């Protein structure tokens, strides 16, 4: 993955559908005493508007083949190739590609960086 984020964050996972990105980031700009929920964040990014919302992490489960993440907003299940995100109350289901090992689009880097720095970028 590219590293145009000036080291304030790094991607741990990036999953993509036609409509959105789900990304787990690790913030490197916070002190060692920052809460784990601040240092590690899951973000949902709408591709059409670049609107970013933080997912509220609840719990996780991991095995050699499958990763599962439970959020207040829904459930994510993924492996090294693909995944599925099911929104709360089954209001929508998203088929995802795991693009964690690929170079992410610059727009994604720019908008996450702006969010973390408190700047607002337009779509």
Domain that holds residue 110: 9-117
63 domain-assigned: yes
Q: Are strands 40-46 and 74-78 parallel, antiparallel or unpaired?
A: unpaired
Tell me if 122 is assigned to some domain: no
Within a domain: residue 66? yes
Q: Which of 96, 2, 90, 91 is nearest to 42 (CA)?
A: 96
Domain total in the chain: 1
H helical segments located in the chain:
36-39, 106-117
The answer as to whether 123 is a domain residue is: no
Domain assignment present for residue 71? The answer is yes
Q: Is residue 77 included in any domain, yes or no?
A: yes
In a domain, 101, yes or no: yes
pLDDT attached to residue 32: 81
Q: Does residue 4 sit within a domain?
A: no
- For 40-72, write each residue's pLDDT tens digit: 999 999 999 999 999 999 999 999 899 999 999
Strand partners, 20: 46
Q: Which pLDDT band, with edges at 50, 70 and 90, does 121 fall under?
A: low
Q: What is the pTM of this model?
A: 0.87
């Amino acid at each position: 993955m590219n590293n145009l984020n000036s080291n304030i964050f790094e991607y741990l996972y990036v999953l993509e559908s036609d409509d959105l990105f789900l990304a787990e980031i690790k913030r490197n700009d916070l002190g060692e005493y920052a809460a784990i929920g601040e240092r590690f964040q899951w973000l949902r990014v709408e591709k059409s508007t670049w609107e970013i919302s933080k997912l509220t992490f609840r719990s996780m489960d991991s095995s050699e083949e499958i990763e599962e993440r439970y959020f207040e907003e829904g459930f994510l299940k993924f492996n090294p190739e693909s995944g599925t995100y099911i929104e709360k109350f089954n209001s929508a289901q998203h088929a995802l590609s795991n693009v964690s090992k690929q170079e992410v689009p610059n727009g994604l880097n720019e908008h996450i960086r702006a969010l973390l720095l408190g700047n607002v970028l337009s779509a």
